[in-house]
Structures are given as C-alpha cells and as structure tokens.
C-alpha cells in the first residue's frame, strides 16, 4: 500500500503486533525445530552417522522409502482420476463425493489403522481366510501401505479439484472438437495445465506418507528391523532411552520436512497462479 | 430442475467408476466394517465399552485439551494471518513458510522435540522448574503439542479471506470516526468469522484425533493425561477389540460432527455472499 490510508497503523502498534507474531512463531514453531537438530548433533557428527547407519535404522529408512514409493503414485493417479470426474463433468451427488474423498482428513490416524486391523487382523473379518491362504496384511508391508494410502488419500484430489474447476472446460472442448481423443486431450491440454498443482499435491502426500505415525503404528506390529518405519523406529529408540539415536533419525525426517517446505514455497512463488484457485 | 448440458468431455464413466471403486476399497468399506463391528456387539455392550469410566475420562482429556489449544490458536493464528496479510516486513516470506511446518514435520518428531524442550531438563522446562511449573508429562503438555499441530489450520483458513477483504469498508468506518479496535470488531471480524470458525473446527478435529505428537509429552496417566486415541491403542494391545471399536465410533462421530459444522458454516457463507 503506497497511498496514505486512515487505516495505517501507528508505528508502535504495527511493530508490537509484528513482534508478538514473531515471538509466537519462534516459540511454537522454531524452538521444536531447533531442538531436533541440537539434540541430534549433541554427541557430535560421528555419533550421528553411526546412529543412522546401524542396520535397524537403515531397514527403517528403506521401509519408509518403499512405502512412499508405493503409496504416493497410487494416490497421485487416484487424485487425477477423481479430479477429472468431479471437475470436468456434472452429476448428482458431486458434493457428497467430494466430502467423502475429504473424509480421511478428519478421521483420527489411530482409527485409520484400527479399521484395517478389524478387517485383516487375526481377530478381523477376513483374518481366518487370510491365515488359511498364508497372506499377511497386518503386521506386514501391505497393512502399512494401506494405512498410509488412507491417511494421504485426499491430498492430491483436494489440490486438483478446485484448480481444474477454476480452469473450466473450454480448452478440453476445443481440443476434442479439433479431433483429439480423450487421452490426447488429457495429456496435451489438461496435464500441462495442472502439472504444478499436481506436483504440489504430490509433495504434501509424500511428506505425510513418510512421516505418518499413528495409523502405521497400529498396523505395523513394531518388529524391529522389519516393520518399523522411520517414525516408529524413532519411538522405539526414544522408549529405549537412546535419545541421541532417536533424534538423529528424527533429524532426517525434519530435514525432509524442511526440503518439502522449501519446494512448496518455491512452487507458491514461481507458479502461484498455476497451483492456487483459492482466491476465486 | 432444468436439464443440464451434458459435458462433452469423455471419460466420465471410467473416471467416476475408478474413483468410486478406490474410495470404496480404501475408505468406505473399512469404515463400514468398523461401524458393523460395533453394531454386532449389541447396543448395551457398545454403551458399556464406549462410555466406561476410563473412556469418558479420556474423552474429557482429548476434547478439553483440543478445545483449549484451538482457542489459543484462534487468537494467535488470527493475529499471524492479519500481520501476514496487512503488513510488510523483512523475513515475512520466511515466516509465512514456517507456519506450514506442522503440516510437514512428522508428528513423532514434533512429539519428542516438544518433550525435550518442556521436560524439567529442557530449554524451557529448566526455566520453569524452579517456580514449580511443570508442563511436560501433564495435561498442559498435551495442549502444547496441539497448539503446535493446529496453528496452520487457523492461519491458512483465515489468511485468504482476510486478503480478499477490501479495505474500503474499514476506511469508511475509520473516516466516520470509529476507533481502530471498533473498526476491527464491527467491520473486519464479522467478515472473517466464518473462516475463523472453520479453522477452529479443523484444528479442534485434528487435535481430538492427534496421537503422535501427544503421547511423548502427555505422561499418559489413565484418568488424568490419557487421550482417547491412546486408549484405542492400549485396548488393541490387550486384544480388547470391542473396547477399541467403541471408542473409535465415538471419535468418528465427533469428527463427522466437526465436518458437518464446517460444511454448514461454509454453505451459509456462500448463501450470504450470493454465490
């Protein structure tokens, strides 16, 4: 704002409000972040390297990456498919469908894990059948992947639906009337329009997938070196009073969170118009 | 109802079919299984497990702490959003990016970090311990964790509405002699109230269900600092499926209520704005 306005706050008011906000963010947000890195490197770099390279930590890192590699693409495809159905077509019950897609956001992570235990666990409905056929879902990789897909279910769709709705259907209709097939239209017209929004959604999905704790904790069984993801491994080390190692692994996830924030902020700055339709 | 023009864009059947299939497999069938599971045990049994003394104490802790944390964030989150939208100062973009950290930082990491800070030997705990103030391993610790988790919900819901709000009405009010505080209260606040309520409900719903960041700092004493999600986990570990299911149903109903409130507030707002 360059012109003078009767709303221009006096300097004392403006600077005290800014100071309150800075102090609040420093205490609520920055302090925990600093604590992670300070505790992680408290015993020096060699201890940190040792903590993240011991076999159980390595197994946890690999499992976390594997789960993300399976869960993120699946939800990414689902998000695009769902957004295409919702944003490019009209049908009754659309609002209900969107609410249902959003539902996992409001379910407690623990409940998200519980529903799969009740379905596939030893005492669950499909438990006996699965046991007969020697298929293990709970306390194994499939359960962890399912729980992760559940908690990250809405991220991509929620990013893309408003974006694709605000972009309208004119461009697709033009391509189709010029003879393009549906698939060509999607690839050449829609996908370039939504790619930054899609990347944004994938970024958020990945951060949550790698960091999920509650849901995965319920279905994993906490088998050291086998079904422990990084967040679960952190809990295990912490409960063993191995704080230095717990914070060393935590610092990797905190690093991932920082990278996610940097990329997310970069996307918002450079492609703000291409990812957000929120202002409309 | 008038006839709507059918969309000329192909792929409707395929994409809607896949969406419904995936949604059913991952979300709807598992959630239905949970509800059926509770129903097969009978009403009396459900009441007995979902409203045992220990469960009621856990709801009180979960809902109470989530309410306090959401209220704290409603005040400070609104202030953060206001400062981010209205003022320009160095480091502003960094500040704005940092607000989203709780979305990106895994909850278990936040949990152990907060515990390290607020425990008696931690950076903040050490300062408070001589005065007999304990924050970690007490219900207050839960509030601290939920304040961290909930902040971005309020800021990110209020911020766009505040940014869209023109300054004309405020200028008019100020020109007519309204004080700064009065202008804020009678002109700005009514406009952003629906967004504030939505953000509050989102933060509250997330706080009630939160697990990872809370269990490290809570102390987890039954009847005192035991949250409802932890009681579900404990029941499961004791193979008490009925107990876990009963509590889960109550929590599911609470989140549905929050969701309905949000939809209702937003619907009313759309009607009010004539959209």
Mean pLDDT taken over chain A: 91
CA–CA distance, B58 with B54 (Å, rounded to integer): 6
**pTM higher than 0.90:** yes
In this predicted structure, the answer to whether residue A8 has a pLDDT above a threshold of 80 is no
At residue B1 the predicted structure's pLDDT band, cuts being 50, 70 and 90, is very low
Convert the pLDDT of each residue in A18-71 to its tens digit.
999 999 999 999 999 999 999 999 989 999 999 999 999 999 999 999 999 999
Report chain A residues whose CB lies below 8 A from the CB of B230.
Answer: 110
pLDDT at A1: 44
Q: Is the CB of A114 less than 8 angstroms away from the CB of B248?
A: yes
In this predicted structure, the answer to whether residue A216 has a pLDDT above a threshold of 90 is yes
Range name among A75-79, A215-219, A252-256, B218-222 with the lowest pLDDT average: B218-222
At residue B274 the predicted structure's pLDDT band, cuts being 50, 70 and 90, is confident
> Dihedral (C-alpha) B17, B18, B22, B23: value to the nearest 10 degrees?
-50
Nearest CA in chain A to B151: A28
In this predicted structure, the answer to whether residue A202 has a pLDDT above a threshold of 80 is yes
pLDDT at B159: 94
Mean pLDDT taken over chain B: 91
- Partner-chain residue, chosen from B18, B96, B229, that has the shortest CB–CB distance to A110: B229
Q: What is the 3-state secondary structure (H, E, C) of chain B?
A: CCCCCCCCCCCHHHHHHHHHHHHHHHHHHHHHHHHHHHHHCCHHHHHHHHCCHHHHHHHHHHHHHHHHHHHHHHHHHHHHHHHHHHCCCCCHHHHHHHHCHHHHCCHHHHHHHHHHHHCCCCCCHHHHHHHCCCCCCCHHHHHHHHHHHHHHHHHHHHHHHHHHCCCHHHHHHHHCCCCHHHHHHHHHHHHHHHHHHHHHHHHHHHHHHCCHHHHHHHCCCCCCCCCHHHHHHHHHHCCCHHHHHHHHHHHHHHHHHHHHHHHHHHHHHHHHCCC
CA angle B66, B67, B71 (to 5 degrees): 115
Burial of A7: CB neighbours in 10 Å, binned 0-12, 13-18, 19+: middle
Structure tokens at A174: 């033009």
Give Dmax (Cα) for chain B: 73
At residue B6 the predicted structure's pLDDT band, cuts being 50, 70 and 90, is low
At residue A280 the predicted structure's pLDDT band, cuts being 50, 70 and 90, is very low
Three-class SS of residue A212? coil
pLDDT at A279: 36
pLDDT at A212: 96
Q: Is the CB of B229 less than 8 angstroms away from the CB of A107?
A: no
CA–CA distance, B103 with B100 (Å, rounded to integer): 5
Q: Is the CB of B212 less than 8 angstroms away from the CB of A5?
A: no
Convert the pLDDT of each residue in A129-176 to its tens digit.
998 899 999 999 999 999 999 999 999 999 999 999 999 899 999 999
Q: Is the CB of B108 less than 8 angstroms away from the CB of A250?
A: yes
pLDDT at B57: 96
CB B209 within 8 A of CB A109: yes
- Which of A35, A231, A280 should we substitute to test contact with B (largest number of B Cβ atoms within 10 Å)? A35
Report chain B residues whose CB lies below 8 A from the CB of A204.
Answer: 103-104
CA–CA distance, A139 with A63 (Å, rounded to integer): 13
Q: Is the CB of B107 less than 8 angstroms away from the CB of A211?
A: yes
Report chain B residues whose CB lies below 8 A from the CB of A218.
Answer: 232-233, 236
CB-side neighbour CA atoms (13 Å) of B179: 3
At residue B170 the predicted structure's pLDDT band, cuts being 50, 70 and 90, is confident
Nearest CA in chain B to A30: B98
In this predicted structure, the answer to whether residue A278 has a pLDDT above a threshold of 50 is no
In this predicted structure, the answer to whether residue B213 has a pLDDT above a threshold of 80 is yes
């Amino acid at each position: 704002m360059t012109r003078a306005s009767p709303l221009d706050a006096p300097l004392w008011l403006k600077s005290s409000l800014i100071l309150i906000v800075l102090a609040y963010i420093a205490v609520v947000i920055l302090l925990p972040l600093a604590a992670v890195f300070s505790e992680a490197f408290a015993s020096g770099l060699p201890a940190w390297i040792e903590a993240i390279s011991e076999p159980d930590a390595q197994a946890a890192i690999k499992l976390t990456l594997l789960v993300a590699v399976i869960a993120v693409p699946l939800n990414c495809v689902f998000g695009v498919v769902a957004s295409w159905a919702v944003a490019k077509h009209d049908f009754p019950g659309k609002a209900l469908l969107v609410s249902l897609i959003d539902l996992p956001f409001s379910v407690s992570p623990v409940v998200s894990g519980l529903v799969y235990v009740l379905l596939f666990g030893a005492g669950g409905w499909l438990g006996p059948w699965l046991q007969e056929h020697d298929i293990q879902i709970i306390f194994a990789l499939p359960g962890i992947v399912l729980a992760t897909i559940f908690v990250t279910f809405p991220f991509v769709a929620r990013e893309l639906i408003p974006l694709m709705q605000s972009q309208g259907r004119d461009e697709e209709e033009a391509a189709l009337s010029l003879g393009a097939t549906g698939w060509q239209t999607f690839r050449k017209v829609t996908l370039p329009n939504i790619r930054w929004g899609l990347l944004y959604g994938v970024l958020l999905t990945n951060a949550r997938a790698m960091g999920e704790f509650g849901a995965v904790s319920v279905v994993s069984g906490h088998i050291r070196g086998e079904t422990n993801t990084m967040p679960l491994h952190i809990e295990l080390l912490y409960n063993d009073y191995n704080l230095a190692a717990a914070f060393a692994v935590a610092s990797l996830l905190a690093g991932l969170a920082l990278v996610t924030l940097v990329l997310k902020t970069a996307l918002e700055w450079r492609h703000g118009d291409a990812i957000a339709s929120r202002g409309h | 109802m008038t006839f709507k023009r059918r969309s000329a864009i192909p792929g409707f059947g395929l994409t809607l079919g896949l969406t419904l299939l995936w949604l059913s497999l991952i979300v709807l069938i598992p959630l239905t299984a949970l509800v059926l599971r509770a129903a097969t045990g009978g009403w009396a049994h459900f009441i007995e497990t979902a409203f045992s003394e220990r469960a009621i104490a856990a709801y009180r802790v979960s809902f109470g702490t989530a309410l306090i944390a959401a209220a704290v964030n409603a005040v400070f989150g609104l202030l953060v959003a206001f400062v981010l939208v209205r003022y320009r100062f160095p480091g502003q973009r960094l500040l704005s990016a940092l607000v989203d950290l709780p979305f990106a930082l895994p909850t278990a990491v936040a949990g152990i970090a907060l515990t390290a800070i607020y425990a008696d030997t931690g950076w903040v705990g050490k300062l408070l311990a001589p005065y007999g103030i304990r924050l970690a391993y007490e219900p207050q610790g839960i509030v601290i964790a939920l304040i961290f988790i909930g902040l971005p919900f309020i800021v990110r819901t209020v911020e766009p509405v505040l940014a869209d709000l023109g300054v004309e009405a405020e200028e008019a009010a100020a020109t007519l002699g309204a004080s700064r505080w009065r202008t804020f209260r009678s002109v700005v606040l009514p406009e952003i109230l629906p967004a504030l309520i939505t953000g509050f409900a989102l933060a509250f719903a997330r706080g009630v269900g939160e697990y990872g960041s809370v269990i490290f700092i809570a102390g987890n004493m039954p009847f005192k600092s035991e949250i409802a999600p932890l009681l579900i986990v404990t029941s499961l570990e004791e193979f008490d499926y009925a107990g876990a299911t009963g509590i889960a149903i109550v929590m599911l109903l609470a989140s549905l209520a929050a969701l309905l409130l949000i939809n209702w507030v937003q619907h009313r707002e759309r009607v009010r704005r004539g959209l």
